[in-house]
């Protein structure tokens, strides 16, 4: 069973982060982002490769539901993702916040 819950912010200025779990195991996160000079809010999805436990950056979009589905799809079929073999640096503040998950 999949579950989506919003994590408590460490400070009142932090943007929301949602954690996705499947059968009690964390499979990824969706983080809200604001891009300078842009009126839209973006959602950055991050998945955990079920085979290697590596954290994989899965893109950004303005569609929250699409990002949630991308994390779930990556968990089910990681071999079909174009991002699996790419490594992108993650935001250091996000890494510190989710450090215990890695």
Which sequence spans correspond to the domains of the chain?
2-101
Q: What is the pTM of this model?
A: 0.77
Give bridge partners of residue 13 from the DSSP assignment. none
The answer for residues whose C-beta is within 8 angstroms of residue 65's C-beta and 6 or more apart is none
Per-residue pLDDT of the chain (102 residues; tens, 9 = 90+): 679 999 888 788 888 999 999 998 899 999 998 888 888 889 999 988 888 888 888 888 999 999 999 999 999 888 877 666 665 555 555 655 665 444
Identify the CA nearest to 101 among candidates 52, 29, 31: 29
* Helix, strand, or coil (residue 74): helix
| Residue 62 contacts residue 35 (beta carbons within 8 Å) | no
């Amino acid at each position: 069973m999949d579950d989506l819950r919003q994590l408590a912010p460490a400070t009142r200025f932090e943007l929301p982060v949602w954690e996705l779990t499947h059968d009690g195991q964390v499979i990824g996160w969706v983080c809200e982002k604001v891009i300078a000079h842009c009126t839209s809010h973006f959602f950055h999805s991050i998945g955990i490769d079920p085979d290697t436990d590596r954290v994989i950056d899965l893109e950004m979009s303005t569609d929250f539901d699409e990002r949630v589905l991308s994390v779930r799809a990556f968990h089910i079929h990681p071999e079909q993702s174009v991002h699996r073999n790419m490594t992108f640096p993650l935001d250091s503040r996000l890494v510190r916040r989710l450090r215990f998950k890695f």
